[in-house]
Amino acid sequence: MRTLLMPTTIRRRRFTQGLALAAGAFAAPAFLRGPLGDAAEVDSRLFSLGVASGDPTASSVVLWTRIAPYPLQGGGLGPRTVPVQWEISSDPRMTDVVQSGQVLARPDTGHTVHVEVSGLLPDRWYWYRFRAGRETSRVGRTRTFPGTGEGATAMRFGLTSCQNYQQGFYSAWRDLAEQDLDFVVFVGDYIYEDGPTSNPIAAGRVHNGSAATLTTVAEYRNRYALYKLDENLKAAHARFPFIVTPDDHEVQDNYAGDWPRADLDDGMHLQRRANAYQVYYETMPLRNAQRASGSHIQVYRTIDFGDLARFVVMDTRQFRTDQPCGDGFGSTDPAAAALEPALGPLICGSDLTAETATMTGADQEAWVFQKLLESKATWNMLAQQVMMTRWDLSPIGAAAFQVPLQDLYSVDAWDGYPAARARVLRFLDTMRPANPVVLTGDIHSSWAANLLADFDDPGSDAVGAEFVCSSISSSFGEENDGLVRLSLSGNPHIRHFDGLKRGYTILEVTRDRCSGEFRAVENVADPASSVSSLATFRVRSGFNAAGAGPDAMQKV
């Protein structure tokens, strides 16, 4: 993802700016060497990365942990296999254990554990924990979702993304963990793959390892460990189940399917992607169906919250065609050539409007449409990575550069794939699935927008609505906030924008409405920063009815 930097210095830059040790480099923990060994010292570290849960259904949930006494040094267990006991209870004191079992934490999956517990009651909170050797993990809390036909009437969840460790503290996670939520949706950039910066947000808050970009399985494991050691993030995972999908930084900034970022092609892309996908599965509370296979991972899937909401979880990275114009900004207007010294290649011509361009691949696109057609839910939530609404930056050309333009787009988002977006909007316009709401991250700023049937006709119906959460910590750049605001006059369907505050969004959904409260961190450089409500927008059920007009998204 790229951004603009103005006005005194005009240059092209990105929106965002693991030393691995061989297996067995450390001695095995004492409890693994024999039943009489004193393991007190290392046992206190076994569950250093906490616990997590994810992908709830009406009867099942995934429980996760990793056994890692030396989490930043490959885990520290070498080739050994570790027995891990688990139990799930109907009460937080773990006195009413409803299921339990034992699994093996194996070296080939980084000593992670994924337990798919089934046979649970619908719409219930549960508590769980793990044991290994002489240590017991913290108690985590999770839940099942309501079943279809069980009368689910409300849900409340956090929408989150983009948590660059070097660019801010995780006050947003601390605030989220204190909220009354049902679950969390994370739509990408759980880690960042670049090396340590010389200018971190605070002394010592830097990426581990010396590699300029992650490549190996060991490097990715160590980077995830660094992020998951954060106490605020661990608290959020322990309190709520997560529904996750990756974006680009879990692999490499701005990669597109089989193509690496245009200026970072080292010939290792597919191997890097395979390694990254492997460790993504290892580290997330995902089902075995999402286990990576080579350079492929099956993350698009549906999850139903009773008949109140269907979550269509999408993947807009793995199957997309390459971005036009070198994955920065693009225009069909020849006048944009005047801006290329500042912004890089811009003249995309037919590449920007190619009918063959795809964000999802043909199979996933057809799957999305089918899952929406089949849905009986009141709300249909499309959890995906990059902004779908049109954001035409051309007003910036005249206001900041004195170069009037017909169009200017950020081509890593759906704006770089207008034909693919048109197919989605045409489907939403023609078939009118109930209340489509797009849930997005990526851009490190908060937005609320109407998705119009035809963005060239500002009076056309809103066939969908989009909430874009800000980043947990990743920088947008204060200098860019005012620049973006120059463009909003040319984008009346965008009802809210803020680039100054990091944070997340709370979605509260009933049969009648869906509201999004943008939570804002006061100072991401302060680990004790306050977090407050920035703005709330909502759409009402039935907003996408034929003839309802363009103004679905309203400020509360």
Domain boundaries, the chain: 156-188+299-555
Position 360 scores a pLDDT of 99
Residues contacting 387, CB < 8 A, separation 6+: 410, 413, 414, 415, 440, 442, 443, 447, 466, 468
CA-closest candidate to residue 130, choices 102, 172, 167 = 102
Angle (CA) 232 234 235, round 5°: 65
Judge whether 434 and 380 are in contact, CB under 8 Å.
yes
Q: Can you tell me whether residue 503 is helix, strand or coil?
A: strand
- In this predicted structure, what is the pLDDT of residue 54? 99
- Calculate the alpha carbon distances from 333 to 316, 338, 455, 544 in Å: 27, 10, 18, 33
Is the peptide bond preceding residue 7 cis, with omega within 30 degrees of 0?
yes
Which of 458, 532, 453 lies closest to 494, judged by CA?
458
222's enclosing H/E stretch is: helix 217-228
Instruction: Decide: 159 and 187 in contact? Cβ < 8 Å.
Output: yes
* Cβ-based neighbours of 5, under 8 Å, separated by 6 or more: 11, 13, 477, 479, 480
What is the structure's pLDDT at 24? Answer: 30
The residues near 280 (Cβ < 8 Å, ≥ 6 apart) are: 190, 220, 246, 250, 292, 297
pLDDT at 43: 32
Dist CA 173 CA 475 (whole Å): 16
Instruction: Specify the pLDDT at position 2.
Output: 52
Q: What is the mean pLDDT of each run of 10 residues along the chain (556 residues)?
A: 41 29 31 32 72 99 98 96 98 98 98 99 98 95 96 97 98 99 99 96 94 96 98 98 99 96 87 98 99 98 99 99 90 92 84 94 99 98 99 92 93 97 98 99 98 97 98 94 94 98 99 99 98 98 96 97
Kindly list the distances between the CA atom of residue 45 and the CA atoms of 37, 217, 309, 398, in Å, as whole numbers in the listed order. 16, 22, 39, 58
Q: Are 61 and 142 spatial neighbours (Cβ–Cβ below 8 Å)?
A: yes
Residue whose token pair is 């688990």: 86
- Per the CB < 8 A criterion, the answer to whether 197 and 206 are in contact is yes
pLDDT of residue 491: 97
Question: Domain 156-188+299-555, what fold?
Answer: Purple Acid Phosphatase; chain A, domain 2 (3.60.21)
Report the pLDDT value the prediction gives residue 44, as an integer from 0 to 100.
54
**H or E, element range at 468:** strand 462-468
Cβ burial of 363 (10 Å; 0-12, 13-18, 19+) is exposed
Residue 94: the pLDDT is 98
CA distances from 385 to 14, 177, 243, 313, 542 (A): 17, 23, 13, 10, 25
Cα Rg of the chain (Å, integer): 23
Q: How many CB atoms lie within 10 A of CB 202?
A: 12
